Amino acid sequence: MHQTLPPIVLVLAGHDPTGGAGLIADSEAIAGCGGWALTIPTATTVQNCRDVQRVLPADPQMMLQSAAALGDFTIGAIKLGLLADAPTLLAAEQIIRRFPGVPVVADPVLKAGGGAELSTAALQKLYIDRLLPLVDILTPNRFELMTLTPDIAEGEDDTARAVALISQGCQAVLVTATDDPLPGNPDQVVHTLHSPDTTRQWQWPRLPERFHGSGCTLASAIAARMAVGERLPTACEQAQHFTWQALSKAYAPESGQYLPRRLPRPTRF
């Protein structure tokens, strides 16, 4: 018997040919958390499991036409990933505005895991001015948090920076410390949720490997859980559990960062 689609997440993100990050990672994470992904590419990339060599932004008109063509679907959440130039960012803004009231999860992809810069100061300002007021939860790592708050003094803590972003219009900020351990806690990954209503913190054992696409996995898992109908703190907790499991069972490529295992491994292998 035919079944109805699971809760739907509309994903606006770049394509990573390795499958570790980008649209493929988003789709796998959403499926692994009980959702269905509709994908609109914002960029194509040349990259491997070590670093990004080139980014080609998508045609913004194609993005808008793709969103219009998906009008028959009921969107439960939206996930934003890589936005590599101003025209694609503004197209993403127009697309989000087509779905008022739909929760938006934004992963501010500013730098590749290998170190390649994927954004500029001007693009980051446009992101804050145009997209942040539309975002329900932003999921920066500590580097991204610092980069998005250049007016905050260097000595200020993560809380001050998160509050600054919330004052710009987003509803909540989940700061991940995967990239940079909090002082005095080198063996734990600490994630902190900041919102006007609550502050919550989770700790996970730090894994020794480096991973390609952990941020994509977490943000997409949150979007899937919100599309299912979970409240934000619960969605964040469930998404972290899913992501840690995917990282702890990751695949090891011949070289470079490990690839999260977001879907069950086929029993025949």
pLDDT in tens, 10-22: 999 999 999 999 9
- Fold of the 8-248 domain: UDP-N-acetylmuramoyl-L-alanine:D-glutamate ligase (3.40.1190)
Beta bridge partners of 127: none
- In tens, the pLDDT along 229-259 reads 999 999 999 999 999 999 999 999 998 999 9
pTM of the model: 0.94
- In tens, the pLDDT along 56-90 reads 999 999 999 999 999 999 999 999 999 999 999 99
- In tens, the pLDDT along 190-239 reads 999 999 988 999 999 999 999 999 999 999 999 999 999 999 999 999 99
- The pLDDT score that the predictor gives to residue 179 is 72
Q: Indicate the pLDDT class of residue 114, thresholds 50, 70 and 90.
A: low
Percent of the chain with pLDDT over 90: 77
Structure tokens at 226: 């919100």
Structure tokens at 105: 């999860």
- The pLDDT score that the predictor gives to residue 116 is 67
- The pLDDT score that the predictor gives to residue 186 is 80
From 41-45, 64-68, 140-144, 214-218, the region with the lowest mean pLDDT: 140-144
Domain layout of the chain by residue ranges: 8-248
The label of the residue with tokens 């025209």 reads 87
CB 263 within 8 A of CB 24: no
For the cut 70, the answer to whether the pLDDT of residue 115 exceeds it is: no
- Specify whether the backbone of 34 is left (phi greater than 0), alpha (psi in -120 to 50) or beta: left
